[in-house]
C-alpha cells in the first residue's frame, strides 16, 4: 500500500504544504484518521462545518436534492435557489429591495463584491479602501483587497485602485473622500489572528460611506451564519451595509458563496455583467437552505454566544504561561500566545487528539461547530491544557520559555 504522504506530495500542487493527517470520516465534532485515531475537531474546516460532521439534516438535504435535481444553468431558476435567496435576505435584513448573487466560494463572493464596487464607482470613484491585515481571498480581485504582501507579491501587478489603511476610525476619516467607490471590512479579521475591529468602527464606517457616497461592503465569510453569536458580525453594531459576502458556514461543508446586496446597490449588476456556471445550483442551495434552517430552528446562534463565553472562560482558566489573552466573539476565538509557538501548540494538540489552527505564529484559532455542548468543552479543556503544557515543558528544557 502506498504511503498517503507520498501520494499527497506526488499528486497535489504544493500550495498548502504537507497535509497534517489523512482524515477518513467524521461525526459531530469528531473526525477519524486513516489509523483509526479519533480527534476532537475545534476548527470545523476553518469555520465551515457549522452543524458538525455528517449531521442528519446535511446528509438528508444532499441525498434528497441529488436525487431530484443537481444542476441547471442560470438561464433557469429552481425552488432551492429562490428559497435560499429569500432566507438570506430575511436573515441579513436586506429587505424587499435586496438581491443575492450565488457563487461557489468566499473568494468568488468577494470577487463579485470587487466588481460591484467598480460598477458603483465608475471613472468618477476609482478608489476602494480595504484594511491592513485584511484577508478577502486569493483570486485577483479579492487578492487586490487582501493586504498580505507575501500573498500578493508573486502575482503583481494587482488590479488597481485598492488602498490599504490601518483599522482605525481616524485612518478611515483621513482616507475617505468623494472618489471612494467602496470600503470593505471584516468584522473580525480571522486570518490576521481573530482581531476585532475597534469599538464603533462599523458604525463610523457606515456614517462616513453614506456621507461620501461610497458602498460599505462587509466580508462575513468567516463571521457569518451565527459564528459570532449573532447571525452576522455587523449585527452587533446594528448597522445596515450596502452588501455582505458569505460562504464557509452557510453551506455546512458544501461549497457555496453569496453576495447579498441592499437598496440601490442591488441594481448595479445587469444581464451579462457577472456570472457563474455553478453558482446557485440547486444542490448547493438546497443544502445551504437546510443548514441555515437548522441553525435557526435549533437555536445555534444563541448556542454560539453562550458556548463562546464558556469557551473563553475555559481558556482564561488554564494556568499556562503561554496564554497571553483571548480575542474574538462567539465561537470564533483567537488565543494570543506569549511566544511565537502557535505551530508547536497546534502540533501538540493534534498529537493529543485535538484539531485547532495557527492563524499566525502568536495566535491559535479556535472555531468549532455551532453544536458543541458540555462534553466537547470538557474534552477541549483537557486536551488544550495538555498541549500547552507539552509546549511549555519543551521551551523550558530548551531555555526558551517566556518570562
Q: How far is it, in rounded angstroms, from Cα 308 to Cα 363?
A: 17
Mark whether 219 is an active-site residue: yes
Q: Is the pLDDT of residue 166 over 60?
A: yes
| 186 in Cβ contact with 134 (< 8 Å) | yes
Q: Does residue 399 register a pLDDT over 90?
A: no
Domain that holds residue 246: 58-297
Catalytic residue, from 58, 114, 135, 384: name it: 135
Binding residues for pyridoxal 5'-phosphate are 106-107, 135, 219-222, 277
Confirm whether 329 is domain-assigned: no
pLDDT in tens, 253-285: 999 999 999 999 999 999 999 999 999 999 999
Q: Which pLDDT belongs to residue 16? A: 81
119: in domain = yes
Which alpha helices (DSSP H) does 267-371 contain, by range? Answer: 282-297, 300-316, 342-352
Q: Give percent of the chain above pLDDT 70.
A: 99
Active site residue 41: no
Among 248, 269, 289, 380, which one carries the catalytic annotation?
248
Q: What would the pLDDT profile of 277-328 be if each residue is shown by its tens digit?
A: 999 999 999 999 999 999 999 999 999 999 999 999 999 999 999 999 999 9
Does pLDDT of 89 surpass 90?
A: yes
- The CATH number of whichever domain residue 226 belongs to comes to 3.40.640.10
Binding-site positions? 106-107, 135, 138, 219-222, 276-277
Residue holding cell 477519524? Answer: 32
* 129 inside domain: yes
Please indicate whether residue 269 is annotated as part of the active site: no
Positions at the binding site for N(2)-acetyl-L-ornithine:
138, 276
* pLDDT tens sequence across 168-184: 999 999 999 999 999 99
User: What is the average per-residue pLDDT within 10-39?
Assistant: 92
Residue 131 in domain: yes
250 assigned to some structural domain: yes
- Secondary structure (H, E, C), 172-220: HHHHCCCCEEEEEECCEECCCCCEECCCCHHHHHHHHHHHHCCEEEEEC
Mean of per-residue pLDDT scores for the chain: 96
Q: Is residue 72 in some structural domain?
A: yes
pLDDT for 14 equals 85
| Mean pLDDT of the region 383-392 | 97
Label residue 2 by pLDDT band (50, 70, 90). low
Residue whose cell numbers read 468543552: 377
* DSSP conformation letters of 44-90: HHHHT-TT-BT-HHHHHHHHHHHTT-----TTS--HHHHHHHHHHHH
User: Could you tell me the three cell numbers for 120?
Assistant: 458603483
* Residue 402 in this model has a pLDDT that exceeds 90: no
Domain annotation covers residue 4 = no
The count of C-alpha atoms lying within 13 angstroms of the C-alpha of 40, restricted to the half-sphere facing its C-beta, is 21
Burial of 324 (0-12, 13-18, 19+ CB in 10 A): middle
| Number of domains forming the structure of the chain | 1
Kindly name the residue from 219, 242, 269, 384 that is annotated as catalytic: 219
Angle between helices 374-398 and 300-316 (to 10 degrees): 30
Mean pLDDT on 349-373: 97
**Residues of the chain by 3-state class (helix, strand, coil), percent to 5:** 40, 20, 40
- Other Cβ atoms within 10 Å of 93 Cβ, number: 17
Instruction: Say if 401 falls within a structural domain.
Output: no
Q: Confirm if 62 and 287 have CB atoms less than 8 A apart.
A: yes
**pLDDT at residue 235 tops 90:** yes
Amino acid at each position: 500500500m502506498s504511503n498517503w504522504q507520498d501520494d499527497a506530495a506526488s499528486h497535489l500542487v504544493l500550495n498548502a504544504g504537507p497535509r497534517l493527517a489523512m482524515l477518513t470520516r467524521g461525526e459531530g465534532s469528531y473526525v477519524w484518521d486513516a489509523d483509526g485515531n479519533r480527534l476532537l475537531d475545534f476548527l470545523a474546516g476553518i469555520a465551515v462545518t457549522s452543524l458538525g460532521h455528517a449531521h442528519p439534516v446535511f446528509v438528508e438535504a444532499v441525498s434528497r436534492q441529488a436525487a431530484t435535481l443537481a444542476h441547471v444553468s442560470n438561464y433557469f431558476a429552481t425552488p432551492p435557489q429562490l428559497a435560499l435567496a429569500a432566507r438570506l435576505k430575511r436573515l441579513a435584513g436586506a429587505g424587499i429591495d435586496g438581491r443575492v448573487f450565488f457563487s461557489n466560494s468566499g473568494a468568488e463572493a468577494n470577487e463579485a463584491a470587487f466588481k460591484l464596487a467598480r460598477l458603483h464607482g465608475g471613472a468618477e470613484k476609482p478608489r476602494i479602501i480595504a484594511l491592513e491585515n485584511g484577508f478577502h481571498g486569493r483570486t485577483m480581485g479579492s487578492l487586490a483587497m487582501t493586504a498580505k504582501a507575501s500573498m500578493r507579491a508573486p502575482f503583481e501587478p494587482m488590479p488597481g485602485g485598492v488602498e490599504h489603511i490601518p483599522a482605525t476610525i481616524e485612518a478611515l476619516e483621513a482616507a475617505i473622500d468623494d472618489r471612494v467607490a467602496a470600503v470593505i471590512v471584516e468584522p473580525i479579521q480571522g486570518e490576521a489572528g481573530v482581531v476585532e475591529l475597534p469599538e464603533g468602527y462599523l458604525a463610523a464606517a457606515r456614517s462616513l460611506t453614506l456621507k461620501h457616497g461610497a458602498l460599505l461592503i462587509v466580508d462575513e465569510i468567516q463571521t457569518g451564519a451565527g459564528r459570532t453569536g449573532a447571525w452576522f458580525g455587523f449585527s452587533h453594531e446594528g448597522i445596515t451595509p450596502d452588501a455582505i459576502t458569505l460562504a464557509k458556514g452557510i453551506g455546512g461543508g458544501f461549497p457555496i458563496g453569496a453576495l447579498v446586496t441592499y437598496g440601490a446597490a442591488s441594481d448595479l449588476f445587469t444581464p451579462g455583467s457577472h456570472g457563474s456556471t455553478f453558482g446557485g445550483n440547486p444542490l448547493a442551495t438546497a443544502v445551504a437552505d437546510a443548514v441555515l434552517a437548522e441553525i435557526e430552528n435549533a437555536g445555534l446562534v444563541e448556542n454560539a454566544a453562550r458556548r463562546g463565553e464558556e469557551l473563553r472562560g475555559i481558556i482564561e482558566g488554564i494556568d499556562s504561561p503561554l496564554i497571553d489573552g483571548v480575542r474574538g466573539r462567539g465561537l470564533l476565538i483567537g488565543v494570543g500566545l506569549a511566544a511565537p509557538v502557535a505551530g508547536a501548540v497546534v502540533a501538540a494538540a493534534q498529537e493529543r487528539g485535538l484539531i485547532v489552527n495557527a492563524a499566525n505564529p502568536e495566535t491559535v484559532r479556535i472555531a468549532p461547530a455551532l453544536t458543541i455542548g458540555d462534553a466537547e468543552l470538557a474534552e477541549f479543556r483537557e486536551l488544550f491544557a495538555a498541549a500547552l503544557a507539552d509546549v511549555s515543558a519543551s521551551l523550558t528544557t530548551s531555555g526558551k520559555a517566556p518570562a
